Structure 1
Amino acid sequence: MESDRTLPAKTFALKGADPQDASLRVLIVPHAGAGAASGQGFAEHAPADWLVATARLPGRETRIRESVPGLPGLVDDVVATARALPGTAPLLVVGVCFGAIVGLEAVRALQRDDSVRVAGMVAVSQWAVTEKPDPERRLLRDTDDTDDVLAILDGFGGVPERLAANEQMLKLVLPTIVADIRAVEDYSSGPDPLLRCPLLTVFGDEDPLCPEERTADWALFGENTRTVWLPGGHMLLTDSPALVVDALVGNLDQFAAEQS
């Protein structure tokens, strides 16, 4: 049974299996500026017995009038969403780029109170967060000039060319992208507290932001970690959602212990 439901608070959108029949629940925390629509391609390629939820963070889609909070507020929002998801099937948290940082901290928060059992975390297109920000780089919080903002955003993956070329759409979406990146631009973290669930990391083999030397430290974040390299660039969820689904399907054995 296909579903497309939202809570009254509209903090996520659901597609896929009925919550009571699902074999797996997937919560996607999308890339900077993206809303729940960004998970549609993934949901269309996911197995029929998966329930796919995509977080709708403040400042976008039906939450456009809400201010984008800092990182603690974004984490709280995702934690609340994880707790609100229907069904009891094992939960995978899939964080994409900026969303991997929010997702990591949300999983850590859920571990602290055991309110939701997370069967696994998947980090897509995000270099290891042990990397400390360059103290010499320009910060988004220090400029409102559009050209400067776009140049700084290149270091975080930039904005899609089709969006940058559409002045009207860029004006609408850019403030949310900037607010999201401002929330994480000073972020770095050591491995502790370790993840108690398995961690799968997924990267594009042509992504200049995520070469092996920038991603290897993810292996430190838990006792059960695994990496998949896919053909493609940085925007894997947008450009190759079927391949991201395949990466999860091909590594479900990694999460088997958590699902039993």
Structure 2
Amino acid sequence: MSANPTDTSPWIRRFHPADGARARLLCLPHAGGSAPFYFPVSRALSPDVDVLAVQYPGRQDRRHEPCIDSLPALADALVEEVLPWADRPLAVFGHSMGATLGFEVARRLESRGTVPLVLFASGRRAPSRHRDESVHLRDDDGMIAELRALNGTDAEVFGDEELLRLVLPAIRGDYRAVETYRYTPGPKLAAPIQAHTGLDDPRASLDEVRDWELHTEGSFDLHTYPGGHFYLNAQAPSVISTVAKTISGLLDAR
């Protein structure tokens, strides 16, 4: 089945379309992130994996759309966009906020009869591990200080005041979504979970990350790397290699 008719979705970006791939990988950005963050992943995995990078409302070419500042609401909207792509095995990769969103999307997919091939949860504690955080309530200077501390935003953004003003509302909306998220107990995922984390991530301790195992009936695997919350920037080749091998192994096992 060709998925080309759904290429017009404002949510899904295919930087390197791979209609002949055995599997698809849905990639969910971090708070304030956008689809191009996953361009290198798409380039590296194509044509073996068809990478679907998600563009949330409220940023870049969708900047005139209101942000969705609730993770459950975002998951509800996104799952409808994702289902047409489930014509072949679908893996999910999310970093930071994207990992929690990926979990909620996976829950919804499974409730609709589609079990993801695997959920890759990167740079995020397990959904059931709550921390009281309120970055979204800070003023603009406080938000900027947080972004600088996590070292995940392009340096040129901080040097361009006009650009910064454009992106801050989306970043604040994302932080509100992830900081007001509360895990609702329910069935564990049937899909396996593979967690990836930086050893010095101030937002996710190893104990908090290990608890992803509590959210699946399938297998669980944990991979650690040098670095902090955005360990992914420096460790991308290693992470992408692991993701590719995992997807290939799961497909072969079928």
Letter in 2 for 1:243: S
Letter in 1 for 2:193: L
Distance (Å, rounded) in 2 between the aligned partners of 1:237 and 1:24: 22
Distance (Å, rounded) in 2 between the aligned partners of 1:101 and 1:234: 15
Shift of 1:237: 4.1
Aligned to 2:176: 182
Distance (Å, rounded) in 2 between the aligned partners of 1:138 and 1:180: 12
Letter in 2 for 1:9: S
Distance (Å, rounded) in 2 between the aligned partners of 1:198 and 1:253: 14
Whether contact under 8 Å (1:23, 1:90) holds in the other structure is yes
Aligned to 2:153: 160
Distance (Å, rounded) in 1 between the aligned partners of 2:167 and 2:232: 18
Distance (Å, rounded) in 1 between the aligned partners of 2:248 and 2:18: 23
Aligned to 1:129: 127
Shift of 1:190: 6.2
1:196-231 Cα deviation digits (max 9, x unpaired): 111111112333333312212111111311111123
Aligned to 2:235: 240
Whether contact under 8 Å (1:55, 1:81) holds in the other structure is no
Aligned to 2:220: 225
Aligned to 2:66: 67
Distance (Å, rounded) in 2 between the aligned partners of 1:15 and 1:195: 29
Residues 24-173 of structure 1 mapped to structure 2, 5 A cutoff = 24-69=23-68, 70-85=70-85, 88-114=87-113, 116-134=114-132, 137-138=133-134, 140=136, 142-143=137-138, 145-151=139-145, 157=150, 160=153, 162=155, 163-173=157-167
Bigger proportion of residues as helix: 2
Whether contact under 8 Å (1:202, 1:247) holds in the other structure is no
Number of residues of Structure 1 aligned to a counterpart in Structure 2: 249
Question: TM-score normalized by structure 2?
Answer: 0.85
Shift in alpha-carbon separation, 1:169–1:190, aligned structure 2, 3 A: same
Whether contact under 8 Å (2:18, 2:46) holds in the other structure is no
Q: Which moved more, 1:67-76 or 1:100-109?
A: 67-76
Whether contact under 8 Å (1:16, 1:50) holds in the other structure is no
Shift in alpha-carbon separation, 1:151–1:214, aligned structure 2, 3 A: farther
Shift in alpha-carbon separation, 1:130–1:153, aligned structure 2, 3 A: farther
Whether contact under 8 Å (2:11, 2:56) holds in the other structure is yes
Shift in alpha-carbon separation, 1:161–1:44, aligned structure 2, 3 A: closer
Q: Which moved more, 1:52-61 or 1:7-16?
A: 7-16
Distance (Å, rounded) in 1 between the aligned partners of 2:242 and 2:216: 19
Distance (Å, rounded) in 1 between the aligned partners of 2:185 and 2:234: 30
> Which runs of 5 or more structure 2 residues have no equivalent in the other structure?
none
Letter in 2 for 1:26: L
Whether contact under 8 Å (2:13, 2:52) holds in the other structure is yes
SS in 2 for 1:16: coil
Shift in alpha-carbon separation, 1:139–1:125, aligned structure 2, 3 A: closer
SS in 2 for 1:43: helix
- Provide the alpha-carbon RMSD of the alignment: 2.8
Letter in 2 for 1:83: L
Shift in alpha-carbon separation, 1:153–1:182, aligned structure 2, 3 A: farther
